[in-house]
Structure 1
């Protein structure tokens, strides 16, 4: 039986654009859902659009015919022309809301941010998943059982024993199975909803690179994924509660119900991630804006109060932010050769790794990473 929960209200402020997708089915089409006018996107109320055509077969036929017109495998249909010329209405007559866009979206779709009642929020599962990864790294590094797991991973890599390596599951050893997962005693709510005005549609690309020590690649995907992101400095809050099962766990922050101790664990993982990015991007002129962001982030992490933490969540994280990779690519595990062997054995990739970054792009230049937020205890 768990003891009584200790709950805290925690503020969240975005430090970089944040993207958490609503799902593959939640995409907006330029042929039915929005019209770009300068640096604004007019989201169309499709019910009103259907009402304007209802009962008029000629209008419906004109809309359907327009949607089927293609030239060089590209639709030539313009929703704005259809509204102003065919319906002889104003675009604003069908406006559901206005969202700012950074760039020329042309005929691309938009991935929507997860929302409830039309208002964006950050799911508790996204927050808890990012916290869980930081705690796993700490467990591997600081506990006897974790060190044993790390030693077994190292041994199997050295022996090139792929089958044994694949069977190792540090996360299960750390937290337990589904039925007895100790992390169920950490509860994280969804955040409060955020003002729609905090959404900004950005182009997001995976941009290829090599480390600054080895030059860099200019290869990049041609078409960005346009996405609704939360602007930097967007604020909200959520509830974080801790209880402990009878008997001690391997996690002192749970045993003591100490949010300060948990934040210290989170900050160590975030600082390690930040320093790794600085090392990888140093001297890379194309990613100079990234480098500047991480220089500022390093300073901010090192200047945090004990009741503050910096965390990365949502889309755009690297493999290192979602795995035990930060620990494996460190002196605590072994050499670069050993880490490279791990990547090859599990068919993850080759060094230098990873070879891409998800980036907010402007004029085809990467200008910002995604997903960094600052937490602070409010009570």
Structure 2
């Protein structure tokens, strides 16, 4: 393998840690115009009352451009289509960019592949993760985000012994800015067996009343390429033996392992959304299954990026009831053991639930 092509199957956001505040964008004709505030400040720097007005607005989080008589149209960096159903009135989570253009980090793809491979191996390694949970449960000094560290080391070895060191995935080439859009995401929460929508300390029946999360995201159908290399030394028995590399075979077979995991994952999620009568998302997963069933040997689909949820990133959803209870106590949270986790993040378009974020198809060359 020398390269890969990634195709976006559902809106994808990979954040850069920054958010656009409400004064940094304007809405016009169904599009969001992102303002270059730094350029604007340079231009108004010599006009004291304008500087004061903008600075005061920055501090309060609100700027009335009309009152200041500043034509912000002259400072729009780029415009993106918006397909949500609620008027945007909050922060927009930015997409990671290089030279102003979005790209997908290779680390995001590799991390998703690793999680998927680990779940596919569940039957042979589940005891390692249960032991790691037990160890953390008895040792309060273990940070909650490090609960699986012991299991990871038991299964894959220390970093220099890990088979994943032989799998190198580069970043994609930059996408065009116009391949992004602004998407609206809401959090579904199952409460007492019914679909609710998250609003801070409350949950609503009507998604119109729920909190909206706004994202810069790559649009469906967007494609780009990247570099991948599987180090040939993975096939050298001497290097594997002397380097004490654990489970080298998973790198040789990673595509089939991911397909196995994703097939099971799609089946479970389809049942979840059918059970709670969200047909739009049930149909979304049925279409994913059709794509997954028709993949060639060198292709896979997987979920990456922001909003993908607990299940896509961890192995704990495969725990039995007894160990889910341990997990509940360890995190000091009131989990429903038969419904874990009970939240999902959903992309809304044109007033209806439309997709689950972050699904991509990857073809290896």
For normalisation by structure 2, the TM-score amounts to 0.82
1:176-218 Cα distance to aligned partner (Å, 9 max, x none): 12343331111111111111111111122222125xxx74232
* 1:232 matched residue in structure 2: 220
- Work out which of the residue numbers 223, 232, 240 in structure 2 matches 1:247: 240
Q: Please say if residues 272 and 326 of structure 1, whose CA atoms lie closer than 8 Å, have aligned partners that are also in contact.
A: no
- Work out which of the residue numbers 262, 273, 284 in structure 2 matches 1:270: 262
CA apart distance, 1:268: 1.1
Q: How does 1:32-111 map to 2 (within 5 A)?
A: 33-65=24-56, 75=62, 77-79=63-65, 81-82=66-67, 86-87=69-70, 89=71, 91-103=72-84, 104-111=86-93
Quick one: structure 1 residues 65 and 375, their matched pair in 2 at CA, closer, same or farther if it must change by over 3 Å? Answer: closer
- Structure 2 residue matching 1:36: 3-state secondary structure: strand
> Rg: which structure is higher?
1
- 1:341 matched to 2:336: no
* 1:217 matched residue in structure 2: 195
* 2:9 matched residue in structure 1: 15
Aligned residues: 336
Q: Distance in 2 between matches of 1:37 and 1:227?
A: 17
CA apart distance, 1:116: 0.3
Q: Please say if residues 140 and 149 of structure 1, whose CA atoms lie closer than 8 Å, have aligned partners that are also in contact.
A: no
- Work out which of the residue numbers 111, 115, 123 in structure 2 matches 1:133: 115
- 1:314 matched to 2:324: no
- Comparing 192-201 with 296-305, greater Cα deviation is found at 296-305
* Larger fraction in strand: 2
For normalisation by structure 1, the TM-score amounts to 0.79
- Work out which of the residue numbers 22, 47, 53 in structure 2 matches 1:30: 22
Q: Please say if residues 88 and 214 of structure 2, whose CA atoms lie closer than 8 Å, have aligned partners that are also in contact.
A: no
- 1:207 matched to 2:193: no
* Larger fraction in helix: 2
Quick one: structure 1 residues 178 and 216, their matched pair in 2 at CA, closer, same or farther if it must change by over 3 Å? Answer: same
Q: Any stretches of 5+ residues in structure 2 without a counterpart?
A: 200-209
- 1:196 matched to 2:190: no
- Work out which of the residue numbers 160, 163, 171 in structure 2 matches 1:182: 163
Quick one: structure 1 residues 8 and 253, their matched pair in 2 at CA, closer, same or farther if it must change by over 3 Å? Answer: farther
1:116-142 Cα distance to aligned partner (Å, 9 max, x none): 001101111111111111222233424
Q: Distance in 2 between matches of 1:58 and 1:177?
A: 60
1:307-335 Cα distance to aligned partner (Å, 9 max, x none): 1101111111221211113432xxxxx5x
Q: Distance in 2 between matches of 1:290 and 1:131?
A: 23
- 1:288 matched to 2:266: no
Q: Distance in 2 between matches of 1:220 and 1:15?
A: 25
CA RMSD of aligned residues (A): 2.8
Q: Any stretches of 5+ residues in structure 1 without a counterpart?
A: 1-6, 329-333
Q: Distance in 2 between matches of 1:339 and 1:303?
A: 36
